[in-house]
Each structure stands twice: as structure tokens, then as C-alpha cells.
A and B are shown apart, each in its own frame.
Chain A
Amino acid sequence: MMSPATLLRRAAPVLACIGLLAVWQFASLVLKNDSFPTAIEAIRAIPDILGDKESLINILASLRRMALGFGVAVLVSIPLGLLMGRSRSVAAFFNPLLMVIYPVPKAALMPIIMLWLGVGDVTKTLVIFLGVSLPVIYHSFEGAKAVEEKMLWSGAAMGLSPAQRLVRIVLPAALPEILTGCRTGLVLALITMITSEMIARQSGAGNILFNALDMGQYDTVFAMIIIVGAMGICFDAIFERVRARLVRWSEPQFDLPLSFS
């Protein structure tokens, strides 16, 4: 048997969703606006989208770009961030570059990238890559910088070369911070995925959404918003599970250390 407190904690997210939908339903009924369908109408449109082969192909194409952009960004950004965190000269070289790119909305670069690379997958994947890279680089950098010097010295005394220390000490020591960056990056991947498809319409989940908007199919628009939101929640939940598993060691199992002398 679960205690009432546990039950409530488990049920809380579901209750929050139901509450949100109820508010939506109510607001929509009160406002009676054509472009604001009720929650029920929007939910009814979901099976139509997911049952449609064309739509599924679009959504899968989006997810493929997102996975590729995210994956490559993580593979490039973690080593770069770690190197920056451990080498002043590497940091001095890349910091100004990143500071210039950081505040620019990545989607704003799209028109230019489109001119060079067209409106296809490469452009959209590149934009996702850029969106994901910066938080991952930043957090890897901060994580690497914070690694205790004495830990590296201990490794050096055991005979680890500088490269080995980077991979076998800095990387695991900074992992909690790195994964925080990756989590932000994952959400940003979803956001840039949709915005990239808004700018370069051709295929994808964003394409379905904005086409429906153009055609005034508001129930489809809101259904897509629900689908994208649900994908975001799922990805984040899965990632969080993986993260918690990888950095179990950094979260104490016990509230207090065992006493021992």
C-alpha cells in the first residue's frame, strides 16, 4: 500500500495536466473564439494526426533531425567545453566566439544558412546543432573548471597522462554538470526543431502545425501543440532517468553520512 503522501506525489503531474485542460476547456467555452478550440476538440484531432501516414512521416523526419542535431552537438560540445575548462588558451580562443553566438537566436541565422545550404535537412539539423551546442559547451566548461585540482594531482601521481586525466577524471567529475547542460540542450533541440520548420517549411512537425494555422484548422494546430509538448515531457523524463542513473554517485543515498571514526 502506498501512503497518502506518496499517492498524492505520484498523482500530482496527472492532476496538473487535468487541471490545465479543464482551465483551457472553460476559457475556450467562455471566449467562444474560432481560433481557440476547446481542449476536447484539440484532443479529438490528435488521433487523426497520428493515424495519418503523411503526418507520421513528417513527425519522424523532425525527430530524426532533432536526434542527429542533438547527438552531434553533444559529441562536439562536451570535448570542447572540457578542453576550455582545463586550458586557459583554448578558453581564451573560443570564449569570444561563443559569446558572440550565444545571444543570437539560432533561428535568426536560418535565412542565411538557407542561402548557403538550402532548405533541406542539413540547414535544419545545423540550426538544431547550434541551439544545443551552447548550453552543453557552457556547462561542460563550468564543470571542467570546477574539478578539484587535487583530484587531478592524485591521478597524475598514479601515472595518468594529461589526455587520460581529461577523459578519466575531468569527464566523470564534470558529468553531473555536463548532463545539466544536455538536459537544457534537449529542450532547446525541440524548440529549434519546430522553429526551423516554421522558417523553412517543407516537412516536419512544425510544418504540419504552421500549415494548419494557415488553413485555419485550429483544432489541428492545438493538437500539434499538445503532441509537441508531450514529446518534450517524454524526452525530458527519459533523459532524467538516464541522468539520475549515470550520476547516482553524486546524490547521497543517505540523508546524513554514516558516523564512523
Chain B
Amino acid sequence: MTAVPARSSEWVRPVTSQEPASVIIEIDHVSQVFQTSARKDHVALSDISLTIEEGAFVSILGPSGCGKSTLLYIVGGFVSPTSGAAKMKGQAITGPGPDRGPVFQEFALFPWKTVLGNVMYGPCQQGVRAAEAEAQSRALIEMVGLKGYENFYPKELSGGMKQRVALARTLAYHPEVLLMDEPFGALDAHTRTRLQNDLLNIWERDRKTVLFVTHSVDEAVFLSDKVVMMSKSPGRIREVIDIDLPRPRRRNELLLDPRYQKYVVDIERMFDESDEAGPAL
């Protein structure tokens, strides 16, 4: 565990009022308890504190059921925490807003809208003129590699294409933070790799803040500046690891890079250790 160049203490810290200006999201002692019907309450998140700096690509990594999605939903404002608070630029998050754009594993496209209609939806809602929204949306569709599919309905697209549309739809209304919940989790390995590459290329252009939930160690290390490792029952932050790998990252170079390999191996080892310590999954 000591082998990992972690600077976690710096990251898991109580939120103070004098945060540097670059902090965009603060999660302050957030807990989430679900009332499961018959049995006793289920603690999905226990006292989570985390700050995310503007422009950072941060992954939340952990086994399924550790509360990753719940944490992301709290930041999105879709779920309000049982206790504690999440803040965006110092303002308490009380609900969803266009400053935080979600991309879900289930795509959640509007099936009655074409690709173009889906992507234009956000800008039009924000009052952008139709012609302008359309031009921007067409450019975005091209950027995510779907030129020529503008008039297709979601039903006619493969999973990878749907997720590209979902990403374009969210980027279209210019959220300051992207909230991605296992966006590539439902895709086959090949498609997943391609989308990871494309996401990195897109991200490296404008460096939006990204909060990215995944249970894949490779994916987290490949994409992120920081990896927040969570453990389950109750959901806690176990470790926060800085990924000190050069950008722009190229997959073929990175896979051969011993530093990358070391991050992956070390993180996997840490999960193995916690599995042995905790109850069997």
C-alpha cells in the first residue's frame, strides 16, 4: 500500500471556508441512508468528504454497491443526502442544474427525438436560437464521430453510438462539470476502449471538470488525474490517489508504461487487501 504515490491526506480533508478558488465541488460529510423495507436501514454512504478541483478528471472507483452512483446523484442534485451537503462553487446543491451534466450508463436518450433532436434539446431549452443550436449540435455530433447519423432515432443505434449521442447531448448545454456514471459499463470491450480514447481526446480540448464513476481499475487509471477508491458496507472513501501520468495520454504508449502498470497493480492489490479484511462479497 505504501508503494502507491498517494497523497491522500491532502485530498480527504475537512472542508473549510477558505478553499482555494480552483475548487469547484465540495462534498462535506455526506451520508446517505436508505430505508430498506423490512430489514434495518442501509448505510450507502458514510461520512464522505471530498473536494474536486476545477478542470480535474476524477474517477470514483469501487466495487458494485459501494455507493458510487449515489454519490454522483447527490452531486447531480438528483438525490439529497441524509446528512451533510454537497456544494458547487460554494453554493449548496439543492437540485439538478445545467452546470452539472449527467451521462448515465443507461444512456437515457429521448427515444422520440432523432440524434440531432436529442443533442439540440438542451440548448433549445436554454433559449439558444434554433438555427444556432442546430449548427452547434451538428458540430458536436461530428466531434463524437456520428456524422451522418443526425436523423437516426436512438432505436436504430448500437450501444456505443447511443452513449456517444448521450455525451454530445450533455456537452451541448455546456455544463461546467460532467457527471459520468459508468458510462461505458454496458458496452463491449472494444467499443469501451474506443469511447475511452475519444472521451480523453474531447476532454483534453477543453478540460472540463469530470467526475467519472467506474468499477474498472484500468479505466480509472487511464483516464484520471485522481482516483477516489471507495470501499463498501458502509460506503467510504478508502484512499485518494493522484495519477501522475503525462498527458495527452495515448493508450498504446500508456499500456507499456511501467508507471501506468504500477498504478493498476497497486490499486488492485489495495482492493484485494480490503476484500480480505472485510466481509466476503
Contact A258 B102 (CB under 8 A): no
Judge if B235 is at the interface, Cβ distance under 8 Å. Answer: no
Q: Provide the residues of chain A in CB contact with B77, threshold 8 Å.
A: 156
Q: Which residues of B contact A249 (CB under 8 A)?
A: 111-113, 153-155
B110 proximal to A (CB < 8 A): yes
A154 touches B102 (CB 8 A): yes
CB within 8 Å for A158 and B98 given contacts A172-B110, A259-B158: yes
Tell me the minimal C-beta distance from A257 to chain B in angstroms: 5
* Residues in A neighbouring B160, C-beta threshold 8 A: 260-261
In the bound complex, do residue B190 and residue A261 qualify as a contact, i.e. CB atoms below 8 Å apart?
yes
B156 contact set on A, CB distance < 8 A? 252-254, 257-258
Stretch at the interface among A28-36, A70-78, A145-153: A145-153
Q: List which A215-230 residues lie within 8 A (CB) of chain B.
A: none
What is the 8 Å Cβ interface bit string for chain A, positions 143-176, against chain B (1 contact, 0 not)? 0000010110110111110000000010011010
Residues of B within 8 A of A153 (CB): 76, 78, 96, 102, 104, 108
Asked if A6 is at the interface of the complex by the 8 Å CB criterion, the answer is no
Contact B158 A158 (CB under 8 A): no
Contact of B158 with A250 in the complex, beta carbons under 8 Å: no
Interfacial chain A residues near B170, Cβ < 8 Å: 154, 157
Chain A residues closer than 8 Å to B102, beta-carbon distance: 150, 153-154, 157
Asked whether B108 lies within 8 Å of A150 as measured between CB atoms, the reply is yes
Query: Would you give the shortest CB distance from A154 to chain B, in whole angstroms?
Result: 5
Residues of the B chain whose Cβ atoms lie less than 8 Å from the Cβ of A157: 76, 96-98, 100-102, 170, 175
Residue of A nearest to B104 (CB): A150
Q: Please give the distance in Å from B220's CB to the nearest CB on chain A.
A: 22
Q: From B57-65, B82-90, B120-128, B238-246, give the one contacting chain A.
A: B120-128
Q: With A249-B111, A250-B111 in contact, do A159 and B155 touch (Cβ < 8 Å)? A: no
**Contact of B33 with A by CB under 8 A:** no
Q: Does B95 sit within 8 A of A, measured CB to CB?
A: yes
Residues of B with C-beta under 8 A to A156: 77-78, 95-96
Shortest CB-to-CB span from B174 to chain A, Å, is: 11
In the complex, residue of chain B having the shortest beta-carbon distance to the beta carbon of A251: B155
B157-A260 in contact (CB<8A): yes
Interface status of B173 (Cβ within 8 A of chain A)? yes
Residues on the B chain within 8 Å of A257, using CB? 155-158
CB distance from A164 to the nearest CB of B (A): 8
In the complex with contacts A173-B110, A261-B190, A252-B155 CB distance below 8 A? yes
User: Cβ of B112 and Cβ of A158 under 8 Å apart?
Assistant: no
Q: Contact mask B155-176 → A, CB, 8 Å, 1/0?
A: 1111011000000011001010
CA–CA, A248 and B112, complex, Å: 8
Instruction: Check B194 for interface membership: any CB of A closer than 8 A.
Output: yes
Q: Is the CB of B122 within 8 A of A158?
A: yes
| Residue in B closest to A154 when the chains form the complex, CB atoms | B108
A-contact 0/1 string along B230-270, CB 8 Å cutoff = 00000000000000000000000000000000000000000
Interface assignment of B191: CB less than 8 Å from any CB of chain A: yes
Q: Assess whether A151 is in contact with B110, with CB atoms less than 8 Å apart.
A: yes
Q: Enumerate chain A residues within 8 angstroms of B78, measured Cβ to Cβ.
A: 153, 156
Does A250 contact B100, Cβ atoms closer than 8 Å? no
Residues of A within 8 A of B110 (CB): 151, 154, 169, 172-173
B155 touches A250 (CB 8 A): yes
Q: How distant is B190 from chain A, measured CB to nearest CB, in Å? A: 6
Digitize B111-146: 1 where CB-to-A-CB distance is under 8 Å, 0 elsewhere. Answer: 111000000011001100000000000000000000
Task: Let me know if A148 and B190 touch, CB within 8 A.
Answer: no
Distance (whole angstroms) from the CB of A150 to the closest CB of chain B: 4
Contact A148 B125 (CB under 8 A): no
Q: How many angstroms from the CA of A261 to the CA of B144 in the assembled complex? A: 12
Assess whether A258 is in contact with B155, with CB atoms less than 8 Å apart.
no
Q: Is B53 among interface residues, defined by CB-CB distance under 8 A?
A: no
Pick the 10 closest A-B CB pairs, nearest first: A150-B108, A156-B96, A158-B122, A261-B191, A172-B112, A249-B153, A157-B96, A150-B104, A151-B108, A252-B155
Residues of B within 8 A of A (CB): 76-78, 95-98, 100-102, 104, 106, 108-113, 121-122, 125-126, 153-158, 160-161, 169-170, 173, 175, 188, 190-191, 194
Question: 11 A-B Cβ contacts within 8 A?
Answer: A148-B108, A154-B169, A159-B97, A169-B110, A249-B154, A250-B111, A254-B156, A257-B156, A258-B161, A259-B158, A260-B160
